[in-house]
Amino acid sequence: MSDSSQPPDGQSPSAAQAAGAVDMVLRGTLVAGVSSFCYTASILALRAVTDEGADWAAWVSCLKAVPTVVVSSMVVAWKSARGTAIWPSRRMICALLVSGTAMQLLGNVGFQWGLSLGGMARTVPLSQASLLISGAVLGVILIGERVSRRSAAAMTVLITAICLLSIDAESFARSVAGQGGGRLVLMTVTMGVLAGVGWGQSGVVIRQAAKTGSSTAVTILLLSSTAIVVLGGGVLARRGGGWILEQTSPREFWISMVAGGFTTVAFFALTVALKHISIVRANLINASQIALTSLAGVLMFDEPMTRWMIVGTGLTIGGLLLMDRPRESGDETR
């Protein structure tokens, strides 16, 4: 009688387990790639609705979150009706809500505001550098993830690329915002760094929630709903409904919805990816946005191309090529 517990094709249980682990890492890597592509499309849409001021940045970020909240609510309701929705503990729910608030205020508002100050070719690299560093540091401190030598080398190359991309920050900001000076450069850098920190801490909390088995849609709903409450409610309280209606044209509304649609797909993909791969790996893959948005900024929004942008973009690609490959042991953190 054959043993039904034996893996097919004569594989030993340990070999089959290792192959399955590698498959999960590859799947997570591909899904993270989809996330990066969709986030890039979202950034292109958001670049088209930039305007000055924190209130407008907060309102656009609120509008962008609407599709994500709607879709995740529908998925949670469907899963709840089937009895398959898995909610995290009360402590994790609180952590997700606090993290979501920080993600909205620092990450999304900071990034949207940064786009109006320094354009995509500066704000995206700065935010991605901050995301790589903060995500790696918080991952080590809070959940004990290790950073491999190859990942550390890839991060070093990418951060070098980002520094090169930021060399012409003042002249670039003058061309985009029509003004220059140290204050504008400082504001651009500050918004980009804050955006990365806001996103970096949320990635760690998403990874924690994934390890507890919480449903992806539940995690996304808790994080995204803070945009409606905190950002939308804050702008309404500060400016009133009249200002919102006056400032938001139909074009801006629908572009924000398009950005939100791409963000929804990206958010779901990233949350699924973080179930299978480390925070560092996911953030390295997302760094591909740097090259894509720099090129799009030149081609679509007449942002200036400089020699440092070309060199920095090339180094970005090199940094991504340095990223760890899945091992047969399935342990990508060595």
Q: What is the CA radius of gyration of the chain?
A: 21
- Rounded Cα distance between 321 and 47, Å, is 28
- Three-class HEC string of the chain: CCCCCCCHHHCCHHHHHHHHHHHHHHHHHHHHHHHHHHHHHHHHHHHCCCCCCHHHHHHHHHHHHHHHHHHHHHHHHHHHHHCCCCCCCHHHHHHHHHHHHHHHHHHHHHHHHHHHHHCHHHHHHHHHHHHHHHHHHHHHHHHCCCCCHHHHHHHHHHHHHHHHHCCCHHHHHHHHHCCCCHHHHHHHHHHHHHHHHHHHHHHHHHHHHHHCCCCHHHHHHHHHHHHHHHHHHHHHHHHHHHHHHHHCCHHHHHHHHHHHHHHHHHHHHHHHHCCCCCHHHHHHHHCCHHHHHHHHHHHHHCCCCCHHHHHHHHHHHHHHHCCCCCCCCCCCCC
- Rounded Cα distance between 100 and 92, Å, is 12
| pLDDT value of residue 1 | 43
pLDDT digits (tens, 9 = 90+) for 237-287: 999 999 999 999 999 999 999 999 999 999 999 888 888 887 877 877 877
Residue with tokens 């809500």: 97
- Rounded Cα distance between 15 and 29, Å, is 21
Quote the tokens at residue 122. 């500066």
| pLDDT value of residue 172 | 56
- Where the chain has pLDDT below 50, the residues are 1-5, 177, 326-334
pTM of the model: 0.78
